[in-house]
A = this chain, B = another copy of it.
């Protein structure tokens, strides 16, 4: 009975683990045992970008939180056991389409964004006091430190550069065909997960291991402090442009109450001919202003390719909370390019080594 409750608590806690040390505004309905919960985010934003070549105004989706609709359920089986499922589909509110996914962790497995798929998550779970076994498609463990330290939660024009510019390939954010294990709660603040995912190619071919990989993350939370380290590796056949991809990163945050600070360091390597290595940094601050939030982020991401191209980004945002569900938000971002980098904002094109500015003004409704 008590262990059963623990297992259910584990589910809630594990579900929330990716938002554990960076605040997000996403309000999701409660997880009720043995029932199905409908949840989602509706986020649409008017974005303007100006670069040295072009400027652009667009309506787009997910400026504050990733627009989505999902169903999830959990059954408390008693004796410390629980089982559940999770389906979560991205939604492009500007056009009514879905968001592209990937079926085999390789470029060849990219799916069309025309319609709705459970591209964000599709998992079946078995949970007991030893942790959670999770089968399906989900975030990779080495992704989580990118969203956890980002005050903008990797959404909208403010997204930190280590996410925007990531060279870490098809499994940079999510992987399909995954067997995952997550530590249970109640380990003195420790949390972690381990994943193995498959490209599912025929064997006896040069690319038979492409899309196979593993990822892991371990962290510790205590009161206002949290820290996590993660690493992931995915196999790809070595070519001029591709090869095994390895990522390692660390993220941490401290909540001083009057503001919350987060920081991250990122290292991504593509074992192509020649090898390319990228290094990134992110620093975030969230200042509660009454019921609202002021957000600040500085980040940098650059590679050792010829010229050492790099982009530095400054983002400033304000989130006005009508309620926990309903918010309006405004974001300003400035990106500076060097070494041949030509990162633009909100669809505007900018020349190498020139800067770009971007503005978001949006509405978000969570259900």
On A, residues with C-beta under 8 Å from B are: 34, 36, 38, 40, 42-46, 53-59, 69, 71, 73, 75, 77, 81, 83-85, 87, 89, 91-98, 101-104, 109, 111-112, 114-126, 133, 135-137, 176-179, 198, 200, 202-204, 322-323, 325-326, 328, 347, 349, 362-365, 367
Contacts and interface: CB of A to CB of B under 8 A. Distances in A.
B117 A93 contact: no
Contact of A178 (B59, B124, B176): B59
Contacts of A176: 59, 94-96
Contacts of A36: 38, 40, 367
Contacts of A104: 95
Contact of A116 (B89, B95, B179): B89
Nearest to A88: B96
Contact of A200 (B58, B325, B328): B58
Contacts of A102: 95
Contact of A77 (B92, B111, B120, B322): B322
A114 B89 CA distance: 12
Given A59-B179, A135-B363, A326-B75, A122 B92 contact: yes
Contacts of A367: 36, 73, 85
A43 to B, nearest CB: 7
Name the 10 nearest CB pairs between A and B, nearest first. Answer: A42-B85, A115-B115, A83-B326, A96-B118, A44-B135, A96-B122, A111-B114, A95-B103, A95-B176, A59-B177
A143 to B, nearest CB: 15
Given A96-B136, A117-B97, A136-B44, A328 B126 contact: yes
A103 B101 CA distance: 18
16 contacts: A44-B136, A56-B200, A59-B136, A59-B176, A59-B178, A59-B200, A69-B71, A75-B325, A77-B326, A83-B325, A83-B326, A93-B124, A94-B136, A95-B103, A96-B122, A96-B136
A291 to B, nearest CB: 12
A91 B87 contact: yes
- Count copies of this chain in the complex: 3
Contact of A323 (B75, B133, B364): B75
A97 B87 contact: no
Nearest to A325: B75
A200 B114 CA distance: 17
A108 B88 CA distance: 28
Contacts of A43: 124
Given A38-B71, A322-B81, A326-B83, A117 B98 contact: yes
A202 B349 contact: yes
Contact of A365 (B84, B96, B326): B84
B59 A198 contact: yes
A317 to B, nearest CB: 18
Nearest to A197: B59
Nearest to A90: B96
A195 to B, nearest CB: 11
A365 B177 contact: no
